[in-house]
Amino acid sequence: MKIAYVTDSGTGFSIDEMAKEQIFSLPLQISVNGKNYFDLEQISVGDVINYLKEDAAMATSQPAIGLIENLFDKLKSEGFDKVIAVPICSALSGTMNALYMTAQSHNMPITCVDTYVTAYVERYIIEYLKRGISDLGQNEEDVLKDVACIIDSCDTLLVPTDLNHLSKSGRMTPFALRLGTLLNIKPILRINKETNGKIDVIDKVRTFKRALNHALEIMKKRIDSDDYIIHIVHVDNYGDAIAFKEQVAKSFPNNPITIDALCSPVAIHTGLGCIAIQYYRQLK
Per-residue confidence in pLDDT tens, the chain, 284 aa: 999 999 999 999 999 999 999 999 999 999 999 999 999 999 999 999 999 999 999 999 999 999 999 999 999 999 999 999 999 999 889 999 999 999 999 999 999 999 999 999 999 999 999 999 999 999 999 999 999 999 999 999 999 887 665 555 554 444 344 444 544 678 888 999 999 998 888 888 888 999 999 999 999 999 999 999 999 999 999 999 999 999 999 999 999 999 999 999 999 988 999 999 999 999 97
- Architecture of the CATH domain 155-281: 2-Layer Sandwich (3.30)
Model pLDDT, residue 179: 42
What pLDDT, in 10s, does the model give residues 155-171? 999 998 876 655 555 54
User: Which amino acid makes up residue 170?
Assistant: G
Model pLDDT, residue 200: 83
Length of the chain: 284
* Residue range(s) occupied by CATH 3.40.50.10170 in the chain: 3-153
Question: Is residue 60 a contact partner of residue 30, using CB atoms and an 8 Å limit?
Answer: yes
Question: Is residue 33 a contact partner of residue 268, using CB atoms and an 8 Å limit?
Answer: no
Dihedral angle, C-alpha 264, 242, 211, 120, nearest 10 °: 40
Output the pTM of the full model. Answer: 0.93
CATH 3.40.50.10170 fits 3-153, yes or no: yes
Alpha helices in the chain (DSSP H): 15-19, 45-53, 65-77, 95-105, 120-129, 140-153, 163-168, 174-183, 208-222, 238-251, 264-270
* Residue range(s) occupied by CATH 3.30.1180.10 in the chain: 155-281
What pLDDT, in 10s, does the model give residues 62-100? 999 999 999 999 999 999 999 999 999 998 899 999 999
